[in-house]
Amino acid sequence: MHYESGVGHIGGNLSVLDALLVSFHEFVGPLDRLILSKGHSAGALYIALWSLGLLTDDDLETYHRDDTLLAAHPPAAGLPKIDFATGSLGHGLSLAAGTALGFRLKSSDDRVFCVTSDGEWQEGSTWEAFIFACHHKLANLTVLVDHNGLQGFGTTNDVASMNPLPARIAGFDADVHIVDGHDPEAIREVLDHRGDRPHLVILETVKGKGVSFMEDRMSWHYLPLNEALYAQAVQELTAE
């Protein structure tokens, strides 16, 4: 999909794909919400929706093309399971916290999942939303942090360090867990957790997971694939 449309952001899609697939297939019920705050991983979101039968092969072929609904970032309307346009980083958790409070006010048992990047935790709006969620004890909110350690201009440690992120979050009134973000069983087990306060899951991931020349390389935050690299990536992933 990315190769045929000639666009990048593949590395961050591969770091979060496992978590999105487990979440959608096993935990996001008909009335639950999943908000992809790291909207530049929209490709992984579209693949998760396709795997549920909510998008077709023909839909995927329109990705990032003229007049498509499958834009580079999730659109505001027109696609199933997508409630908000996201990708201007730092906004998703605010939307998720507000949705979770709305569910509570309606006496609903439905859950809200929010997937953020680790770079977003350098932004004040993310912390304000987390303060709000903890203050209101939004136990129906689960936040997944794609902790791959890389962002647009380098490592998260070099750009504007909030490392170690778990230590920064430890003082908040939330349940915090750290798991391997590429281990479906570990993801499954942690998402099964239900407590009486917000739940934050730090997914230890690898940018470009599964493709040797992409793994842990900041450049694959941006680069598209040429024909030779596309063939190599497919070969490696098929062999794995």
Query: What is the domain-level CATH number for residue 136?
Result: 3.40.50.970
The rounded mean pLDDT for the chain is: 94
Q: Which two tokens stand for residue 31?
A: 């009335």
Q: Return the CA Rg of the chain.
A: 17
What is the signed CA dihedral for 62, 65, 69, 71, rounded to 10 degrees?
120
Phi, psi torsion values for 136, nearest 5 degrees: -90, 5
Is residue 240's pLDDT more than 90? no
pLDDT digits (tens, 9 = 90+) for 156-166: 777 777 888 88
pLDDT digits (tens, 9 = 90+) for 104-123: 999 999 999 999 999 999 99
Separation CA 227–CA 232 (nearest Å):
9
pLDDT for res 151: 78
pLDDT digits (tens, 9 = 90+) for 61-72: 999 999 999 999
Domain count, the chain: 1
> Closest Cα to residue 119, out of 28, 15, 46?
15
Residue 63: give the domain boundaries.
2-239
Separation CA 81–CA 84 (nearest Å):
9
